[in-house]
Structure 1
Amino acid sequence: MSESETESDYSLPDDLPAVQDALISWYEDDHRSFPWRETDDAYEILVSEVMSQQTQLGRVVEAWEEFLDRWPTTADLKEADRADVVGFWTDHSLGYNNRAKYLHEAAREVEEEYSGEFPETPDELQNLMGVGPYTANAVASFAFNNGDAVVDTNVKRVLHRAFDVPDDDAAFESAATEAMPDGESRVWNNAIMELGGVACEKTPSCDTAGCPWREWCHAYETGDFTAPDVPTQPSFEGSRRQFRGRVISTLKEYDELPLSKLGPRIRVDYAPDGEHGREWLEGILSDLADDELVELDTRDGDGDEDEETVARLRR
């Protein structure tokens, strides 16, 4: 789809200032309370954004508060033992634990390369380890009011339903940018994500949530509330993520473990030659080693025993 075709496939309302004012007023009158919405500290916001990537917001609150109690600044996090940070991530079921490693490294970069002061633009923030375009824009928006229009699955759903924006990334980027009032990225991005999170969910609650865009909304007018497909998060139970976390938790209890003893500790059906046996375990450990979370050594066995691989947390 060309840029000209994309732009001609939708149009925002002529009275765009009224649309903008309605959403901001709706958000400021009443919205879900999260502690990271009450701060403009870039480090605190970065922690919340990284934690929220795979975890429901309600569960993030406790983890976020405990993390910041333990490591309240980038200077504190930089000095932390990386194994402790990864262990915290695993203990709180915060998704892929390599994100903890990236957060730890980003804190070091802020301290050593930016003299303890966060960069303030989306482009500059992407220079930090593990900070991609979405997270960089969120930090720039919520910490410095200096971001671009956010485009996540909630925002896409809102724009598709409200203004009939086609299911095309370029169209969503264009429409989101056009809709956001200049210099208002902090409140606007919070507001439009809130709209998608409480009113324009997969099953919409337009009237009960008091959606401020009903008078302009294409879906509300036509009754057609279809929306772009939203990928579903794979089940955590039984997933590779779950067993990566179990490896980290188990190795926290021991200085090191040979694979023959590690395997049975992370799954009850472990059998060296089985489907979830030695080869399966070596694959998980190889991934963790690539992420610089564990170290593997091969040693001679005792007596007549063959060589044995030993795993430990990398510190």
Structure 2
Amino acid sequence: MSEADDPAAEDYLPVDPDAVRDALVSWYEADHRDFPWRRTDDPYEILVSEVMSQQTQLSRVVAAWEAFLERWPTTADLAAADRADVVGFWSDHSLGYNNRAKYLHEAAGQVEDDYGGEFPESPEELSELMGVGPYTANAVASFAFNTGNAVVDTNVKRVLYRAFDVPDDDPSFERVASELMPEGESRVWNNAVMELGGVACGKTPSCDDAGCPWREWCHAYGTGDFTAPDVPTQPDFEGSRRQMRGRVVNVLGQSDELALDELGPKIRVDYAPDGEYGREWLAGLLSDLDDDGLVTFDESAGVARLRE
């Protein structure tokens, strides 16, 4: 299939993409991890955080980032530093390959010598800096200048694959990510979608605990299938609550309305009205799905149907 024959990005999205966007941004702005580089729009400080984060857990980057900027607070300071000192700092803080320290030192010199100490603002220009690839350039453009494109990293791919059943190919991920991002809002949007992948939609999802704002539309949440490009198997899926949720949605999708004792045997072969997996268990499952906007459950009548 050629790219021209591929489904358009909007074909994968819910009918009201603005509601999807608003839900994610509201969720992010209400509460998110408070990394210090999220409190600055200084491109140098953001570049340092991005380079450090490439091989190091974010929780460990904070102390190294603060120490690095205390020692070399500007590109001028870093460019004037002895490269051996920069590499030594990198090694002392276990920040991964030392060539990243060399490239960062070189990039600081480029900013000073080629750009008069002022960072370029577009992803294309930022990519001209030593060691700055497309992803890092886009991140700096987004978080420092709000001029970036939609970020598409492993976490974002996982989110799009699960939430909207986007095929596992880069062109599809790129198209859907670009369609979703509000125009001119790359700073908040890219932070928000990466937060979603890091907090709620990790390899082991925490949909309910993290209050994922996309549960209402999420294909994985509705079906119980949380596989993803970087999560090829779900060893604990069989018999799990998410599997039962998916079965409920699938069964109700083929019926107008079902009573508990009609629905139960279609969900579990060991369903028994008064047993461990009986009416009380099924009512709890349906109540959760009702709260999430996926089904309508009339507890007093003991009937359920798929919500339209």
TM-score, normalised relative to structure 1: 0.72
- Return the letter of the residue paired with 2:117: G
Equivalent residue, structure 1, for 2:285: none
Q: CA deviation at 1:3?
A: 1.4
Residues 224-251 of structure 1 deviation map (CA, whole Å, 9 limit, x = unaligned): 11100269xxxxxxxxxxxxxxxxxxxx
Give the Cα separation in 1 of the matches to 2:217 and 2:176: 15
Quote how far apart the aligned CAs of 1:2 are.
2.1
Q: Using CA pairs below 8 Å that are at least 6 residues apart, which structure has the higher relative contact order? A: 1
Equivalence for 1:30 = 31
| Cα pair 1:141 1:185 within 8 Å, conserved | yes
**1:7 pairs with 2:7:** yes
Counterparts of 1:45 and 1:13, CA distance in 2: 33
Report the CA distance between 1:11 and its aligned residue. Answer: 1.4
Alignment of 1:63-142 (within 5 A): 63-142=64-143
Give the structure 2 partner of residue 211 of structure 1.
212
Asked if residue 44 in structure 1 is aligned to residue 45 in structure 2, the reply is yes
Distance 2:212 2:130 in 1: 38
Q: Distance in 1 between matches of 2:75 and 2:63?
A: 19
Kept in 2: contact 1:162–1:213 (CA 8 A): yes
Alignment of 1:238-277 (within 5 A): none
Unaligned ranges ≥5, structure 2:
233-308
Q: Distance in 2 between matches of 1:90 and 1:84?
A: 10
Q: Say whether the 8 Å CA contact 1:6–1:170 is kept in structure 2.
A: no
Q: Please tell me the residue identity of whatever aligns with 1:100.
A: A
- What's the counterpart of residue 177 of structure 2? 176
Whether the aligned pair in 1 keeps the contact of 2:151 and 2:190 (CA below 8 Å) is yes
Structure 2: how far apart are the matches of 1:57 and 1:41?
19
Q: 5+ residue gaps in structure 1?
A: 232-315
Residue 29 of structure 1 deviates from its aligned partner by: 0.1
Deviation of the 1:14 alpha carbon: 1.4
**1:61 deviation in Å?**
0.2
- Native 8 Å contact 2:103 2:131 kept in 1: yes
Amino acid at match of 2:146: N
SS at match of 1:220: helix
Equivalent AA in structure 2 for residue 4 of structure 1? A
Q: Conserved in 2, the CA contact under 8 Å of 1:45 and 1:139?
A: yes
Q: What SS does the aligned partner of 1:7 have? A: coil
Cα distance in 2 between the residues matched to 1:4 and 1:129: 35
Deviant stretches of 4+, over 6 Å: none
Any idea what SS the aligned residue of 1:207 has? coil
- How many residues get paired? 231
- Partner Cα separation in structure 1 for residue 183 and residue 14 of structure 2: 17
Indicate if the aligned counterparts of 1:134 and 1:150 stay in contact, CA closer than 8 A: yes
Deviations 1:1-37 (A, max 9, x none): 5213433585111100110000000000000010000
1:153–1:230 contact (8 Å) kept in structure 2: no
CA distance in 2, matches of 1:223, 1:4: 32
Question: How far apart, in 2, do the equivalents of 1:126 and 1:192 lie?
Answer: 23
Q: Distance in 2 between matches of 1:185 and 1:62?
A: 27
Tell me the distance in 2 between the aligned counterparts of 1:230 and 1:62.
30
Q: Match of 2:183, SS?
A: coil
Determine the C-alpha separation between the residues in 2 that align with 1:211 and 1:103.
Answer: 36
Residue matched to 2:58: 57
Q: Deviations over 1:245-294 (max 9, x none)?
A: xxxxxxxxxxxxxxxxxxxxxxxxxxxxxxxxxxxxxxxxxxxxxxxxxx
Q: Is the 8 A contact 1:23 1:213 kept in 2?
A: yes
CA RMSD between the two structures: 1.3
Q: Report sequence identity in percent.
A: 80
Contact preservation (8 Å) 2:152, 2:177: yes
Which TM-score applies when normalising by structure 2? 0.73
Paired position in structure 1 for 2:244: none
**What is the CA-CA distance between 1:194 and the residue it aligns to?**
0.3
Partner of 1:263: none
- 1:93-116 CA distances to partner (integer Å, 9 max, x unpaired)? 000000000000000000000000
Query: Would you say the 8 A contact 1:162–1:219 is kept in 2?
Result: yes
The amino acid that maps onto 2:190 is: N
Conservation of the 8 A alpha-carbon contact between 1:148 and 1:177: yes
